[in-house]
A and B are shown apart, each in its own frame.
Chain A
Amino acid sequence: MAFLTCQFSRGEILLKPLILYFTADYPSTEILKSFLEAVDPDVVKYVEIGIPESNPLYDGPTIKATHSLALKNYKPNHLAEYTGILGRKGIPAFALSYYEKFNKLGSGYATFLKDAGFSGVIIPDLLTDYSEESDRIIPEIEEIFSFIPFFNPATPDGLINAVSSLTGSWIYYGLQPSTGIDIPFDLEEVSRRILDLLPGREINFGFGIRTTGQIGEILSLGSSGVAIGSLLVQYLNDKDLEGFRKFQESVKEVCASAE
């Protein structure tokens, strides 16, 4: 199964496995830009950029800490600089933003994100806290750009089916109910569930992935890709571009060996 997502290493159809998450303007605009410049388009298929929040409720402690600092640096006009760097590499960027902003600004907020260069948006608290709004807001967003459904093990089957039918986009599946925490789970069971519910859809897994070994395992179970967030924070904090490059290389190797 693994070769499905790792074909890039054979130089065939570009199906790349890695999704990277960064919080906008963390640790600083310049450092983040240098990391984005170092993103390897041979292995990274999308980049998610988190819009800084005062209360990122469903993020784990590591990502939460990035938000409080990022909030001090944050300027909305920086977003286009980030998506610009990625665009030159042919990597689509997706915004990750909590619902409150949509609540305040309506679909105008989606237009703003699209104009800033994003291909779509993930709203981590929409189905948990505002599910009654989802039938209205999802089609509105889809008129503008992609709405990326975010599900996790606590999302009821009925809701997964209903929401995913409102979009044709890829799906983000959190393996854990929050980022950066270690709840023991059976990877195979958790993956099988979503893959069986939504056959044929592009499903990328995230939340709580810590090692390249896990990445290999997840890909071999049939996911289309893996999202990495908390794991990158250390590289950012240390301004360790070299470590970041090596990490991307190691994911390529995992794919090569899984083939």
Chain B
Amino acid sequence: MGKIMLSTQDTAIIPREWYNVVPDLPKQLPPPVDRDEKNSSIQLLNQILPKTILKQEFTFQRYTKIPEEVQEIYAQIGRPTPLFRAHGLEKALDYHGKILIKYEGATITGSHKINTAIPQAFYARDEGSTGVVTETGAGQWGTATTVAASLAGITSKIFMVKVSFNQKPLRKEIMELYGGEIVPSPSMETEFGRQLLAKVPEHPGTLGIAISEAVEYALEHDLKYMLGSVFNSVLTHQSVIGLESEKQLEILGEEPDVMIGCVGGGSNFGGFVFPLMKKFKETKIFASTASEVPKFTKGEYKYDYVDTAKTLPSIKMYTLGSDFVPEKIYAGGLRYHGAAPSISMLVNSGRIKSSDVTEDQVIDALKLFARTQGIVAAPESGHAIATAIEYVKANRDSKETILVNVSGHGLLDMSIFQR
């Protein structure tokens, strides 16, 4: 046991460089494209993103140095996050293999989102921006953004999907405590929001709509837009999850046979599995998604827009359509219609398998995880746990080592249990 604790406490485990999967993909990543000849949405990225982010978005470099300042903050926000063996869960499932958990809920904001919020806010500040704007579903990304902006000494404005805004009032308070300004989306603050509300006054909102509002607001007010997921640069920042795991596995003397994570836009999943795939080439990989948002199983692999207003470029991904309005599931972070192009490519090629789980399965998984491991995981992460449980049930005698990324805690998402 002592060995396990040691492995999670050492700041020397924090990587000095992020890993970018693009040069190691089996095929060429289809680039973002414009569909409109007159207004280039790729050109628009120049206006709303810090130059450094844009560079990282299109780089072929395998490794990018993490700025010293960001490395230091990574240590302050709880990195490296723990990687431990889930003895309690193994026992409850009567599993004779091993279940290992990488736990991103141990960061100060309670999820992996802070890993990319910090560098994005600092790059925005370094390039002279006074503030950042973004969207949030469940509120995890918004929370990370407000903290990162405050640490960087700039302002933050968050468009929060209305259904989550109503389901999770504490999220708003936390984001305000951190100094952010929060608006439910669709809102009256943007042209796109006003148009939607005129048509559907009770619109529950979607991530696609909130992204459109945030981008419009950033353009109108000369602020920088923060990318929550989907984009390659975000997956690169999130590679700290997999890079740390690699070192922690080495310390523990373990090798995963199976890796499981949940996919909203794909940032925690990509950040977790990509650095590990490089070393563990034969590992089975499962992307867990919500049955209510079955992007990999019912979606199409094609070019589609990132956001509902079609302001941002279209990218090749598995998608349910940029105007898809999902059910009001509690895992707000998984309600996104698409997924990162790199992950989509590998799902399409069969390297990554997908697994849909229902909200009922997720609630059971969250309860079991809380009672056996003491951790209240986020509803999004509950999908990964539920997939792991399904896998164990189907492969009880396999003795495989299963590594699960639990992307966040769910202490502010308790309403899922009052359903």
Q: A154-B28, A156-B23, A178-B33 are in contact. Are A185 and B38 (CB under 8 A)?
A: no
Which of the listed residues B38, B51, B55, B58 has the most CB atoms from chain A within 10 Å of its own CB?
Answer: B58
Could you tell me the distance between the alpha carbons of A190 and B61 in the complex, rounded to whole angstroms? Answer: 9
Q: Are A131 and B60 in contact (CB under 8 A)?
A: no
- CB neighbours (8 Å) of A64 from chain B are 34, 37
Q: A58-B31, A128-B30, A182-B46 are in contact. Are A153 and B58 (CB under 8 A)?
A: yes
- CB neighbours (8 Å) of A128 from chain B are 28-31
Could you tell me the distance between the alpha carbons of A181 and B46 in the complex, rounded to whole angstroms? Answer: 10
Which residues A129-183 have CB closer than 8 A to chain B?
129, 131, 152-159, 176-178, 180-183
Q: Are B33 and A58 in contact (CB under 8 A)?
A: yes
Q: How large is the interface on B (under 10, 10 to 19, 20 to 34, 35 or more residues)?
A: 20 to 34
Q: What is the CB-to-nearest-CB distance from A177 to chain B, in angstroms, rounded to a whole number?
A: 3
Say whether A12 faces chain B, with CB atoms less than 8 Å apart. Answer: no
Say whether A60 faces chain B, with CB atoms less than 8 Å apart. Answer: yes
Q: Are B30 and A60 in contact (CB under 8 A)?
A: no
Q: Are B46 and A178 in contact (CB under 8 A)?
A: no
- CB neighbours (8 Å) of A60 from chain B are 34, 40, 42
Which residues A84-128 have CB closer than 8 A to chain B?
127-128
B20-31 CB mask vs A (1 if < 8 Å, else 0) is: 001111111111
Could you tell me the distance between the alpha carbons of A189 and B56 in the complex, rounded to whole angstroms? Answer: 12
Could you tell me the distance between the alpha carbons of A109 and B27 in the complex, rounded to whole angstroms? Answer: 25
* A contact residues, total (Cβ < 8 Å): 32
Say whether B59 faces chain A, with CB atoms less than 8 Å apart. Answer: yes
Contact of A129 among B30, B51, B57 (CB under 8 A): B30
Which of the listed residues B27, B32, B40 has the most CB atoms from chain A within 10 Å of its own CB?
Answer: B27
Say whether A61 faces chain B, with CB atoms less than 8 Å apart. Answer: yes
Say whether A242 faces chain B, with CB atoms less than 8 Å apart. Answer: no
Q: Are B28 and A61 in contact (CB under 8 A)?
A: no
Q: What is the CB-to-nearest-CB distance from A208 to chain B, in angstroms, rounded to a whole number?
A: 11
Which residues B1-35 have CB closer than 8 A to chain A?
22-34
Could you tell me the distance between the alpha carbons of A183 and B31 in the complex, rounded to whole angstroms? Answer: 12
Could you tell me the distance between the alpha carbons of A187 and B340 in the complex, rounded to whole angstroms? Answer: 26
- CB neighbours (8 Å) of B27 from chain A are 127, 131, 156, 159
Q: Are A61 and B40 in contact (CB under 8 A)?
A: yes
B48-85 CB mask vs A (1 if < 8 Å, else 0) is: 00010011011111000000000000000000000000
- CB neighbours (8 Å) of A129 from chain B are 30
Q: Are A156 and B58 in contact (CB under 8 A)?
A: no
Q: A131-B27, A131-B28, A182-B43 are in contact. Are A154 and B22 (CB under 8 A)?
A: yes
Could you tell me the distance between the alpha carbons of A185 and B61 in the complex, rounded to whole angstroms? Answer: 11
Q: Are A185 and B34 in contact (CB under 8 A)?
A: no
- CB neighbours (8 Å) of B46 from chain A are 182-184
Q: What is the CB-to-nearest-CB distance from A64 to chain B, in angstroms, rounded to a whole number?
A: 5
Which residues B350-407 have CB closer than 8 A to chain A?
none
Contact of B58 among A131, A176, A180 (CB under 8 A): A176
Q: Are B60 and A193 in contact (CB under 8 A)?
A: yes
Which of the listed residues A127, A153, A185, A189 has the most CB atoms from chain B within 10 Å of its own CB?
Answer: A153
- CB neighbours (8 Å) of B40 from chain A are 60-61, 180-181
Say whether A28 faces chain B, with CB atoms less than 8 Å apart. Answer: no
Q: Are A178 and B37 in contact (CB under 8 A)?
A: no
A33-75 CB mask vs B (1 if < 8 Å, else 0) is: 0000000000000000000000001101100110010000000
Say whether A186 faces chain B, with CB atoms less than 8 Å apart. Answer: yes
Could you tell me the distance between the alpha carbons of A162 and B358 in the complex, rounded to whole angstroms? Answer: 43
- CB neighbours (8 Å) of B36 from chain A are 61
Q: Are A154 and B29 in contact (CB under 8 A)?
A: yes
Contact of B37 among A68, A155, A159 (CB under 8 A): A68
Q: What is the CB-to-nearest-CB distance from B45 to chain A, in angstroms, rounded to a whole number?
A: 8
Could you tell me the distance between the alpha carbons of A181 and B28 in the complex, rounded to whole angstroms? Answer: 19
- CB neighbours (8 Å) of B45 from chain A are 183
Q: What is the CB-to-nearest-CB distance from B43 to chain A, in angstroms, rounded to a whole number?
A: 6
Contact of A153 among B25, B30, B32, B60 (CB under 8 A): B60
Q: Are B51 and A178 in contact (CB under 8 A)?
A: no
Could you tell me the distance between the alpha carbons of A190 and B59 in the complex, rounded to whole angstroms? Answer: 8
Which residues A184-210 have CB closer than 8 A to chain B?
184-186, 189-190, 193
Q: What is the CB-to-nearest-CB distance from B50 to chain A, in angstroms, rounded to a whole number?
A: 10
Could you tell me the distance between the alpha carbons of A190 and B23 in the complex, rounded to whole angstroms? Answer: 12
Could you tell me the distance between the alpha carbons of A68 and B36 in the complex, rounded to whole angstroms? Answer: 12
Q: Are B43 and A156 in contact (CB under 8 A)?
A: no
- CB neighbours (8 Å) of B54 from chain A are 183-184
- A131 closest partner in B (C-beta): B27
Q: A61-B34, A177-B32, A178-B33 are in contact. Are A156 and B25 (CB under 8 A)?
A: yes
- B61 closest partner in A (C-beta): A189
B111-153 CB mask vs A (1 if < 8 Å, else 0) is: 0000000000000000000000000000000000000000000
Q: A156-B28, A190-B60 are in contact. Are A184 and B38 (CB under 8 A)?
A: no
Q: What is the CB-to-nearest-CB distance from B292 to chain A, in angstroms, rounded to a whole number?
A: 31
Could you tell me the distance between the alpha carbons of A178 and B33 in the complex, rounded to whole angstroms? Answer: 8
Q: A64-B37, A193-B60 are in contact. Are A183 and B28 (CB under 8 A)?
A: no
Q: What is the CB-to-nearest-CB distance from A68 to chain B, in angstroms, rounded to a whole number?
A: 7
Q: Are A127 and B28 in contact (CB under 8 A)?
A: yes
Q: Are A153 and B24 in contact (CB under 8 A)?
A: no
- CB neighbours (8 Å) of B32 from chain A are 177-178
Could you tell me the distance between the alpha carbons of A242 and B151 in the complex, rounded to whole angstroms? Answer: 56
Q: Are B31 and A154 in contact (CB under 8 A)?
A: yes
- CB neighbours (8 Å) of A180 from chain B are 40
Could you tell me the distance between the alpha carbons of A152 and B22 in the complex, rounded to whole angstroms? Answer: 12
- CB neighbours (8 Å) of B43 from chain A are 61, 181-182
Contact of A156 among B26, B33, B38 (CB under 8 A): B26
- A163 closest partner in B (C-beta): B28
- B27 closest partner in A (C-beta): A131
Could you tell me the distance between the alpha carbons of A184 and B25 in the complex, rounded to whole angstroms? Answer: 23
Which residues B248-295 have CB closer than 8 A to chain A?
none
Known: A131-B27, A154-B58, A154-B60. 6 other contacts (CB 8 A): A128-B29, A131-B28, A153-B59, A155-B60, A157-B24, A184-B55
The 8 residue pairs across chains A and B that have the minimum distance between CB atoms: A177-B31, A153-B60, A154-B29, A127-B28, A181-B42, A184-B51, A155-B28, A131-B27
